[in-house]
Amino acid sequence: MQKFSRQQFFGFKYFLYGIVTMTCLHIFAGCSEKEASYQPLSETTSQILDKSSNLLNSGQFRNSLNYLDSAYQQMENKSPLDLWEKYNFLSKIYLNYDVDLAISQQYLDSMFWVLKEKSTIYKREYALTKFLEGDLYKAKKQFSNAFESYYEGRKFALQHLSNCLISNLTYQMGLFRYDQVQFEESIPYFQQAIQENKDCWGNGMLDQNLYFPQMYRNTLALSFEKMGKLDSAVSHYRKGIDFLENAEKKYPGEKAFISLAKGVYFGNLGGTLGKLGKDQEAEKLLKRSIAINSKPEFDRRDAQTAKVKLTELLIRQNRLNEARTYLNQLDGELTDAEVKNRSHIITLIQLNRVKEAFFQKLGTSDSAYLYVKAYHHLQDSIEKVDEELRVVDMEASYENAAQQYQLSIVNRDNQIKNIYLGTAAGFTVLLVIFLALAWQGLKRSKNINKVISQQNIELQETLGALEQSQTENTKIMYMVAHDLRNPISSMVMMSDILLSDEQIKGENRVLLEHIKTSCINSLNLVSEMMQSNKNSESLSREPVEIDRILNYCVELLQHKAQEKNQKILLDTTPVTAYVSREKLWRVISNLIANAIKFSPKGKSIRVSMKKKFDKVLILIKDEGIGIPEEIKNKVFEWYTDGKRSGTEGEKPFGMGLAISKQIITAHGGNIWFESEENKGTTFYIEIPIKKP
């Protein structure tokens, strides 16, 4: 067995829709795949997948999935490649281990989604996903679809990838032959993959420099062993071990994986040497393999395969007591196996064959017969599953996929030409209709011009009347504002006189200070009303402690809330922002006053704030009557008809929220709300902290 590697690819199809598509093809280059920057796999993801792979190889299937899920949940800012690797890992688990093709398909679809419009950025992943799609079709016995995916994936790889990255796709094609028990035909693919992989050496890609090349060599040796060419198999196993020993010096951080891989090679080489009658060296290698891969988080299934081979050797040497020990171990391990997939069944087949030989040696033919019967039953079930795969002509299917692909390109070109033709005809018809309408329009233009001239005169008269009305309204506003200044100024002066009296203390003094501050803010508002040509650039900003403004607004309006037996709950944190103190006070006061107005007696109003990076978020939440759906789009409008009276009949004015939105927008911020009728409303204010 080999360590569960991380590799696949994705495919998508383009569709053409009439005139829009033609416009895309000829006018807007932006209709092609969106460009984005390549984000490499994070070190955290690599560590998570290595750990999950180790748990899986050691037979801890559920622990592997649980660890993967919890570790990914703790990750922040996951890149497309981080997500792709996770879905790739899970899709392969449900394709090869705990077989559930529907779940495997779901994760494959997620891989497609991650790579959507990114195939030219993550080229290797695109090709690998396409090959995984082929593997899934193969498992479903949809072989024509499988070869279509293989062909499209390999064609894309040949166009966009180096030989280094194509090597794994070549290996997958060889593996298809291997699964068909066409070992001799699979060998050229594995040899080609090894040659292509040499272009990878020294490029820093660990999977291409270590994981894959040792896998290619091992499967090549297995093919020779399956063909009965045992000397060639031994030669290639030894070359694989040499490769791993050299890699051990170059990659000291991969010591655990290299040890696991060497354990696999030792077991395979030991089994082959045993077939050649070289029992002493075979036994030594098999025991080394078992010692390595029986460790926690190593390859437990491979260790079981090595035990079967060693047991067979011991039986041949009449060392039956030692053989019995390994048989008992295997019985317990296979019974306790968490996942009983194809690999598990193959190990059972081998074990039943060895048990039959064991009981034949003991002279108990009845027991031997039971195991030989179980052996043939399991062997027949495997062959029945593989029978349909073996009759598939890979070369012909692959060639057919190529022809279908070329045919689809021709059909697509024809569709584009038809679209061009239809579009041209459509434009011609539209042009004729346009010219006919224009001719009719010319005849009517004289009468229309007379009507327009008369309407223009009437419009000018109406605009003149409106300008006169606006001028009069402005004069009235100036008069009202001017007349308000004197009484408000007097209130400020009287507040100062009263505050100068040191005998006024406690709550009375606090109330007087609130009155003075409110009057000063009102004077500022009156001054703004008397100015003309105001804009957002005229904001006078200063560093303001937002939490103190909230405290002040809550204290000022607490008495108003108490009249309705309401509570205002405040939760703040120290934050300083560059804002207009008076304008922000006006917005917050207005929102708290609205919350009081539209909340029934005895309810609570929550005022809170949060710091979000370079912004501050203020929330005013009530438990009131909420905002009906039909007026939600009108609450920020000037002179809105969405006005409503408060819960105690308080009169509305309808301009407070419009003014608030104007102020917050002038600060470069945002104001919005969430509301549910009869349950309450939450207003949000988000403004920048930094100096503009």
Mean pLDDT, to the nearest integer, of 175-183? 81
| 514 vs 595: which has the higher pLDDT | 595
The pLDDT of residue 230 is 93
On the 0-12 / 13-18 / 19+ scale of CB atoms within 10 A, 392 is middle
Contact 675, 686 (CB under 8 A): no
Position 8 scores a pLDDT of: 31
pLDDT reading at 372 higher than 50: yes
Alpha-carbon distance 258 to 204, whole Å? 17
What is the C-alpha to C-alpha distance for residues 319 and 689, in angstroms, rounded to an integer?
Answer: 82
Nearest partner of 4 among 79, 83, 81, 64, judged by Cα: 64
Residue 479 domain flag: no
Q: What is the CATH number of the domain that holds 571?
A: 3.30.565.10
Are 189 and 183 in contact, with CB atoms under 8 Å apart? no
Quick check: 534 pLDDT over 50?
Answer: no
- Residue pair 108/132 in contact by the 8 Å Cβ criterion: yes
In this predicted structure, what is the pLDDT of residue 692?
A: 73
pLDDT of residue 18: 31
Segments forming the whole domain that contains residue 626: 539-688
Which tens digit of pLDDT belongs to each residue from 281-327? 999 999 999 999 888 878 888 888 998 999 989 999 999 999 899 88
Residue 683 β-bridge partners:
620, 673
Q: Which of 75-89, 144-158, 406-420 has the lowest mean pLDDT?
A: 406-420
- pLDDT for the residue 350: 86
Q: What is the average pLDDT across 390-411?
A: 49
Q: Indicate yes or no: pTM above 0.85.
A: no
pLDDT at residue 481, rounded to an integer: 63
Per mean pLDDT, which range of 22-26, 269-273, 354-358, 636-640 is the poorest? 22-26
Assess if residue 50 is contained within a domain.
no
* Matching residue, tokens 């040949």: 158
> What's the total number of domains in the chain?
1
Longest alpha-carbon distance in the chain: 121
Cβ-Cβ contacts under 8 Å for 326 (sequence gap 6 or more): 307, 310, 311, 314
pLDDT of residue 533: 43
CB contact set of 541 (below 8 Å; sequence gap of 6+): 578, 579, 580, 691, 692
Residue 115 lies in a domain: no
User: What does the mean pLDDT of the chain come to?
Assistant: 78
- Long-range CB pairs of 312-316 (<8 Å, 24+ gap) are 312/274, 312/354, 312/357, 313/274, 313/279, 313/282, 313/283, 313/286, 315/354, 315/357, 315/358, 315/361, 316/279, 316/357
φ, ψ of residue 503 in degrees (nearest 5): -75, -20
pLDDT at residue 22 greater than cutoff 50: no
Highest mean pLDDT among 182-186, 279-283, 333-337: 279-283
In a domain, 662, yes or no: yes
User: What are the helix (H) ranges across 97-209?
Assistant: 101-114, 123-139, 143-160, 163-179, 183-197, 206
The pLDDT value recorded for residue 273 is: 94
Each residue of 463-507: pLDDT tens digit?
556 656 666 666 666 667 656 766 776 677 777 778 777 778 777
Q: Output the pLDDT for position 2.
A: 41
Please state the φ and ψ torsions of residue 291, each to the nearest 5 degrees.
-60, -35
Listing DSSP states for 562-597 in one string gives: HTTT-EEEEE----EEEE-HHHHHHHHHHHHHHHHH
Measured between alpha carbons, how far is 284 from 309 in angstroms, rounded to an integer?
12
- The reply to whether 49 falls in a domain is no
pLDDT surpassing 70 at residue 77: yes
Does residue 117 belong to any structural domain of this protein? no
Write down how long the chain is: 692
Residue 666 inside a domain? The answer is yes
Confidence of residue 172 (pLDDT cuts 50, 70, 90): confident
Cα separations (Å) of 31 from 22, 520, 534? 11, 58, 43
Ranges of beta strands (E only) in 208-294 are none
Confidence check: pLDDT of 12 > 60 = no
User: Does residue 399 fall inside a structural domain?
Assistant: no
More confident residue, 18 or 127: 127
